[in-house]
Amino acid sequence: MLNHVNVMGRITHDLTLKEGDTPHCGFRIACDRDRSREKKTDFFDCTAFGKTAEFVSKFFGKGRMIIVDGRLQVDEWQDRDGNKRSSVKIIANNVYFGDSKSQSSDARSAESAPEPTPRGQVTFTTINEDDGDLPF
C-alpha cells in the first residue's frame, strides 16, 4: 500500500523542540492551492521526530518556506463529552528548504562580508607558471 505525501508551504508559527525519549517538533504549514480560480489556503499539521525534528527546530521558523516529505496519519480519540474525534496530520520523514536563506541570515552575512571592489578598479593576478604540453 502507498501512503506518501509531499507538500510545500510556509510555517505559520514559531517552533519548539520537545525533548524526551524521542525529540519531536510539531508545526503547521499554510499551502496555497495552485489550480483554483479563487485563492484558497490549506493548513496542515505536521510532526517530525528524532534528527528531523532537531533539524526543523534549528533551521526553520515562522514564515519560512518548507517542503515536507512524509505520510498521512489519522489520530482518533474521544472528547470529554464522549464524542468521537479525529484529525489528520503529516508525519515528516524528510524536510527541505523551500526558499533561500532567511532575511535575518542575509543581513548577518552582509555585515561580515568584505567591501566590494568599486567599478573600474578590478585587479588581476598574473600566474607565471608554464603548463607545458597539453595532453590533447
Q: What is the pLDDT of residues 27-72, one digit of tens each?
A: 999 998 877 678 889 999 999 999 999 999 999 999 999 999 999 9
- The per-residue pLDDT for 99 is 87
Nearest CA to 101 among 132, 60, 73? 60
Are 106 and 113 within 8 A, CB to CB?
Answer: no
All domains in the chain, ordered by first residue: 5-99 (2.40.50.140)
Q: The cell 492551492 sits on which residue? A: 33
Are 9 and 66 within 8 A, CB to CB?
Answer: yes
Calpha distance 129→136 (Å, rounded):
19
Mean pLDDT rounded to a whole number for the chain: 83
pTM over 0.75: no
Calpha distance 76→79 (Å, rounded):
10
